[in-house]
Amino acid sequence: MQKKIAILGSTGSIGTQTLEVIEKQADSFRLEVLTAGKNADELIRQSRKFLPNHVVIADENQYSKVLDALSDLPIKVYAGSEAIEQIVQMESIEMVLTALVGFSGLRPTLAAIKAGKDIALANKETLVVGGDLIIREALERGVNIIPVDSEHSAIFQCLTGEEFNPVEKIILTASGGPFLGKSRKELENVSPEEALKHPNWCMGNKVTIDSASLMNKGLEVIEAYWLFGLKPEQIEVVIHPQSIIHSMVQFEDGSIKAQLGIPDMKLPIQYALAFPRRLKSDMERFSFSNYPSLTFKVPDKNLFKNLDLSYLALQKGGNMPCNLNAANEVVVNAFLEKKIRFTEMPEIIEKTMEKAEFIEKPGLEDYINSDTNARKIAETQVFK
């Protein structure tokens, strides 16, 4: 039987790769819903090709354009962020793949969980910002959250079948991005174009900049905390430039399990969609002859301070990870627009965390307000 899928953020990097997987595995999956933010042209193209039953364009100004372009097809068209929250609750949907960027993924993911839909989670910020809400709702409603990030997918795969074996720690691998080995002086003048040249992965702009600054790994540490129920000190990060070992689990007996593969997001996407099955694929296979040396090193936390800031936010708890994430989204946009330097990003994030209000036990509205307020604090520093 075909599993019925909704893709939130279908026009982004993860969304488009998910559609490639579904096209290859058409016998296993059926598209029910596609949503996009502002890229109406790509949403129209995807809709005409894959014929979902429903599409949503978050930008309400482009509703007429999408509606007119699909008027000859039996596809229902909606617009607005609230429509995305409503559409994920449809009875026909079995799994929601959340590939929205940043804070925008929180509310629709929460709505899908409350409707009892399994989640394929590619939006790490959802757990960074509101991990306690998401995990609590998922446990109460018996909803599976299958990680799509390659690192968390690797941990998830290593833990499958190990339910009764205590974990000593997990080891998240990081490529080191395009600036591995650079000095602080060299980093001061790097351009957005240089930061977007990731050596191994093809990702969207925001995630690629996060990878270059190691914020991506910091956010993954917080995500892993919620996904796997670990203490911060049980989550280790190592630099692995080849990106072949996607992450590892060390058990209490000292043994380590690792998941390996070519750097290709389609593999963890397919695994999440099909779980608990593994579907046969024609994806490129890893060969040791092509990678005779796999290397590792400790990350330079003094140079890439975002990693320490993420651990600090996780240890503080409450709404602090939300403040961290909001400030990071602001500085990434500012860097891409060449308003600040690469090395200024962690400085602004740290100052925002110091100035933003701390709420020990936030609710959903607290997270929304914290996101808004932290952005204002960060923007003030960008434009000072």
Q: How distant, in Å, are the alpha carbons of 134, 201, 215, 280 from that of 242? A: 33, 11, 19, 25
- Measured distance CA(205)–CA(183) in Å, rounded: 23
Q: pLDDT tens-digit profile of 229-283?
A: 999 999 999 999 999 999 999 999 999 999 999 999 999 999 999 999 999 999 9
How confident is residue 328, by pLDDT bands cut at 50, 70 and 90?
Answer: very high
Label residue 266 exposed, middle or buried (CB < 10 Å: 0-12, 13-18, 19+): middle
Q: How far apart are the first and last CA of the chain?
A: 57
pLDDT at 207 over 90: no
**Strands 29-36 and 3-8, bridge-based pairing:** parallel
pLDDT at 292 over 80: yes
Pick from 356, 352, 332: nearest CA to 342:
332
- Measured distance CA(105)–CA(125) in Å, rounded: 7
pLDDT at 56 over 80: yes
Q: Is the peptide bond before 346 cis (omega within 30 degrees of 0)?
A: no
The mean pLDDT value for 76-85 works out to 96
pLDDT at 167 over 80: yes
How confident is residue 130, by pLDDT bands cut at 50, 70 and 90?
Answer: very high
pLDDT at 181 over 90: no
The mean pLDDT value for 334-341 works out to 95
Is the four-CA dihedral 26, 46, 104, 68 of positive or negative sign?
Answer: negative
pTM, entire model: 0.93
38-47, 195-204, 318-327, 372-381: range with lowest mean pLDDT: 195-204
- Identify the pLDDT of residue 102: 81
pLDDT at 8 over 90: yes
**Beta-carbon count within 10 A of 67 CB:** 16
How confident is residue 302, by pLDDT bands cut at 50, 70 and 90?
Answer: confident
- Identify the pLDDT of residue 223: 96
pLDDT at 200 over 80: no
- Identify the pLDDT of residue 27: 95
The mean pLDDT value for 208-231 works out to 95
- Identify the pLDDT of residue 101: 82
Q: At what angle do helices 13-24 and 40-50 cross, to 10 degrees?
A: 10
pLDDT at 123 over 80: yes
CB 335 within 8 A of CB 195: yes
Ordered by where they begin, the domains of the chain are 3-147 (3.40.50.720), 152-218+232-263+285-304 (no CATH), 317-384 (1.10.1740.10)
The mean pLDDT value for 287-310 works out to 94
- Identify the pLDDT of residue 332: 96
Q: What is the mean pLDDT of the chain?
A: 95
> What proportion of the chain, given as a percentage, has pLDDT over 70?
100
- Comparing 94 with 180, which gets the higher pLDDT? 94
- Identify the pLDDT of residue 93: 97
- Comparing 110 with 301, which gets the higher pLDDT? 110
- Measured distance CA(126)–CA(325) in Å, rounded: 10
pLDDT at 298 over 90: yes
The mean pLDDT value for 18-43 works out to 97
- Identify the pLDDT of residue 203: 74
The mean pLDDT value for 28-45 works out to 97
